[in-house]
Amino acid sequence: MKQRETSLNSPLNGHQHMEDMGDEHIPGSFETPLREDAFEMDDELKMELIEKHFREIMHVLGLDLSDDSLKGTPRRVAKMFVKEIFSGLNPKNKPEITLFENKYRYNEMLVEKDITFYSFCEHHFVPIWGKAHVAYISSGKVIGLSKLNRIVQYYARRPQVQERMTVQIANELKAVLDTEDVAVLIDAKHMCVAARGVQDTASSTVTAYYGGRFKNEATKQEFLRYLSPTGE
Ligand SMILES: [Zn+2]
């Protein structure tokens, strides 16, 4: 399997035409570009409008919307966009995090690996899917394990760029756990690479973020060892 690794600890530089950026999947910023008025419409209205516009797209493509198999599609797509695959755009869907006092195992690394996620490339609106591995060293608080999963899912459920998603998850972990000592590694496949363009089905993209003590080579290696199939 061919992999390209992107380190996200150094700032991105260089200017490129926007379209080139989209084609090369280069992220512009680590904030999802949202308008100020992004959530002034409620979910019901968003679904109504998306349904209407998606019906129009299907119509333009030449599909017969009176067909039994197709007529419910615009509504299904609208509901899926708003309530499921892009629900992570809305801050009201952000997982509530409860922390616990860490009375023992103080200072040890916790790794939650193989968190399966499904996201969507914001340049082509087709799936990005793969595994996220996250780790942190407790500053005195610990988080429920399922919450690590929920944080990954929240940031996956929006149009994304893999590099940005990696940093967004890391930033959220740093904020809720009150520590710089977090690591995030994402290994994912992109439908837009596999099914169109260069049509490379074997490649996957690896992005990693190492904060605080994870920048230390020994700590980083310990984290990466946990991710190897044998756990060595
Ligand atoms: Zn794409």
Same domain, residue pair 215 and 182? yes
Answer yes or no: 40 catalytic: no
Q: Is the pLDDT of residue 7 over 80?
A: no
User: Which residue, of 89, 116, 144, is where some domain finishes?
Assistant: 89
Active-site annotation holder among 112, 124, 168, 172: 124
SS3 157: coil
Centre of ligand 1 to C-alpha 105, Å, is: 42
Centre of ligand 1 to C-alpha 22, Å, is: 7
Active-site annotation holder among 122, 160, 163, 168: 122
Residue 110 belongs to a domain: yes
Q: What angle is formed at CA 134 by the lines to CA 174 and CA 199, rounded to 5 degrees?
A: 120
Q: In terms of C-beta density within 10 A (0-12 exposed, 13-18 middle, 19 or more buried), how is residue 178 classed?
A: exposed
Answer yes or no: 133 catalytic: no
Count of domains observed in the chain: 2
**How long, in residues, is the chain?**
232
Same domain, residue pair 211 and 107? yes
Active-site annotation holder among 160, 168, 172, 192: 192
Answer yes or no: 51 catalytic: no
Same domain, residue pair 183 and 217? yes
d(CA 183, CA 136) in angstroms, rounded, equals 6
Answer yes or no: 192 catalytic: yes
Residue 156 belongs to a domain: yes
Residue 38 belongs to a domain: no
Answer yes or no: 24 catalytic: no
Active-site annotation holder among 123, 160, 163, 168: 123
d(CA 170, CA 163) in angstroms, rounded, equals 11
In tens, the pLDDT along 63-75 reads 999 999 999 999 9
Print the domain residue range for 222.
Answer: 3-8+17-26+97-227
Q: Closest by alpha carbon to 219, among 179, 176, 171, 164? A: 179
pLDDT band at 15 (very low <50, low <70, confident <90, very high): very low
Residue 149 belongs to a domain: yes
Answer yes or no: 162 catalytic: yes
Look at 5-19, 21-35, 108-122, 176-190 and tell me which has the smallest mean pLDDT.
5-19
DSSP 8-class letter at 36: T
User: Hey, which residues does 109 pair with through a beta bridge?
Assistant: 137
pLDDT band at 99 (very low <50, low <70, confident <90, very high): confident
Q: Is the pLDDT of residue 20 over 90?
A: no
Q: At 145, which CATH number? A: 3.30.1130.10
Contact between 181 and 137 under an 8 Å Cβ cutoff? The reply is: yes
Contact between 184 and 208 under an 8 Å Cβ cutoff? The reply is: yes
Q: Closest by alpha carbon to 154, among 213, 65, 201, 87? A: 87
d(CA 27, CA 123) in angstroms, rounded, equals 10
Centre of ligand 1 to C-alpha 194, Å, is: 10
Active-site annotation holder among 25, 121, 133, 168: 121
Q: What is the pLDDT of residue 34?
A: 95
Same domain, residue pair 84 and 115? no
Residue 119 belongs to a domain: yes
